[in-house]
Amino acid sequence: MRKKILCLLSLFFIFSLLMGDEISDTQKRLEKIQKDLQEMEKKATQTSQKKKTTDVQLQTTLKEKQKVELEKKKTEEIFKQKQQELTKVSTELKSVDEQVRELKTLQNNQLNLLLRLRINSSTTKIKPKEEHCLTAMTAQTREKLNQLGDVQVVLSEEKKEVGKEVTVVKSDLYAKTNLSKKLNTTVKTLETQKKQLTKEEQKLQNQITQLRKDAAQLEALIASLTAKSKASGEISEAYKNSFKSIAWPLRGKIIRNFGQETRSYGTSVISNGIDIAVPEWTTVVASDDGEVVFSGPYGGQGKLIIIDHKNGFFTVYSYNNELLVSRGAQVKKGQPIAKSGMTGSASEPCLHFEVRKDGKAVNPLAYLE
131, pLDDT greater than 60: yes
pLDDT of residue 251: 94
pLDDT at residue number 1: 52
Which residue, 15, 83, 6, 75, is CA-closest to 229? 15
CA torsion sign, 245 to 250 to 253 to 258?
Answer: negative
What is the chain's mean pLDDT, rounded?
A: 80
pLDDT in tens, 185-220: 998 998 888 888 888 878 877 766 765 665 565 455
User: 44-53, 85-94, 260-269: lowest mean pLDDT where?
Assistant: 260-269
Q: Helices marked H in the chain — which ranges?
A: 2-120, 129-232, 237-241
Nearest C-alpha neighbor of 156 from the set 107, 104, 102, 100:
100
Give the Cα separation of 336 and 78 in Å (integer).
Answer: 83
Name the burial class of residue 298, with classes exposed (0-12), middle (13-18) and buried (19+) by CB atoms within 10 angstroms of its CB.
Answer: buried
Bridge partners (DSSP) listed for residue 66:
none
The mean per-residue pLDDT over the stretch 322-345 comes to 93
Beta-carbon contacts of 6 under 8 Å, excluding residues fewer than 6 positions away, are: none
Q: Which is higher by pLDDT, 115 or 158?
A: 158
Spatial contact of 312 and 235, defined as CB atoms under 8 Å apart: yes
Q: At residue 349, what are phi and psi to the nearest 5 degrees?
A: -60, 125
Spatial distance between the Cα atoms of 94 and 89, rounded to a whole number of angstroms: 8
Predicted confidence (pLDDT) per residue in 262-317, tens digit: 544 344 456 788 999 999 999 999 999 999 988 988 877 889 998 888 888 888 99
SS3 for 125? coil
- Which domains are seen in the chain, by residue range? 18-234 (1.10.287.950), 239-369 (2.70.70.10)
* Amino acid making up residue 12: F
0.85 exceeded by the pTM?
Answer: no
d(CA 53, CA 8): 66
Looking at residues 325-336, what average pLDDT do you find?
94
- Name the residue among 265, 262, 209, 269 with its Cα closest to residue 52: 265
Determine the pLDDT at residue 290.
92
pLDDT at 260 over 80: no
| Residues facing residue 256 across a β-bridge | 275
According to the model, what pLDDT value does residue 266 have? 42
